[in-house]
Amino acid sequence: MRWTAVVNPSAGRGRTRKLLPRLTDAFERVDVDVSVSTDFDDARATARRAFDAGHGVVACGGDGTVSELAGLAAETGGVLAMVPTGAGNDFARHLGLDLRRPLEAVRLLETGRLGSVDLGRA
């Protein structure tokens, strides 16, 4: 599957912005397109284009970024992955991702293994 990473540079109180060079390198090593969003509207637009092209989307940020893109993934039938670089990362913690090593999540994209989670709407 082809992937597009949607990076929220504001996530994690600046942590994501500091990690950006290393994130970009890690994504490029596994042939993932990278888009650094300017705001949530930009992130959603980028994700929609990727989903429409049949790409999976990697939400790179925190729970807010994942929340913004999860509904869109459900709406389009797209596949959503995440790299936890936010402040809380509650969803990533629930999935068992290593919050101290967010770049490890990039390597998981190479496995090709997909899982599913329930999504509720309010």
Residues 91 and 61 sit within 8 Å (Cβ to Cβ):
no
- Is 117 among the domain residues? no
Residues 22 and 44 sit within 8 Å (Cβ to Cβ):
no
Q: Which two tokens stand for residue 31?
A: 């042939």
Low-confidence ranges of the chain (pLDDT < 50): none
The model's pTM: 0.90
- Is 121 among the domain residues? no
pLDDT for 3-18, tens place per residue?
999 999 999 998 999 9
- Is 99 among the domain residues? no
- Is 58 among the domain residues? no
Provide the 8-state DSSP code for 95: H
Say how many domains are in the chain. Answer: 1
pLDDT score at 115? 72
- Is 109 among the domain residues? no
Domain of 37, in residue numbers:
9-53+63-92
pLDDT score at 95? 85
